[in-house]
Amino acid sequence: MLQGDKPDDFVVATGERHSVREFVDAAGAELGFRLTWRGKGVDETGTDRDGRVVVRVDPRYFRPAEVETLLGDASKAREKLGWRPKVGFGELVAEMARADRERAEREVSSRRRG
């Protein structure tokens, strides 16, 4: 993008479609836990192996004009820049989950010292 002749906007995306539930399941797997899903829609919850609810739908985070699905189209980046994604969904989620876990561990460690 920085090598282009003139500035332009590009979408950088895998072009893969995944649900929030798939994201949560993949993150949980990276962190060593598996969820059981119950309910539907705003009443859906994810529970851990002890039956504790660890994921719950919160309508406060819905978009004002919620759409059913979103899918990034990186065709312009492919055509103009020859760009291709190198990281797939699973690897990206795993990287995000590990980074969040490491940050949380640093915060806990910092509180214990402070």
Q: Indicate the average pLDDT of the chain.
A: 90
| Domain ranges across the chain | 20-60+68-113
Q: In this model, does residue 91 exceed pLDDT 70?
A: yes
Superfamily of domain covering 20-60+68-113: UDP-galactose 4-epimerase, domain 1 (3.90.25.10)
pLDDT tens profile 15-52: 899 988 999 999 999 999 899 999 998 999 999 999 99
DSSP letter assigned to residue 95: H
Q: Alpha helices of the chain — where are they, by DSSP H?
A: 20-31, 75-81, 89-113
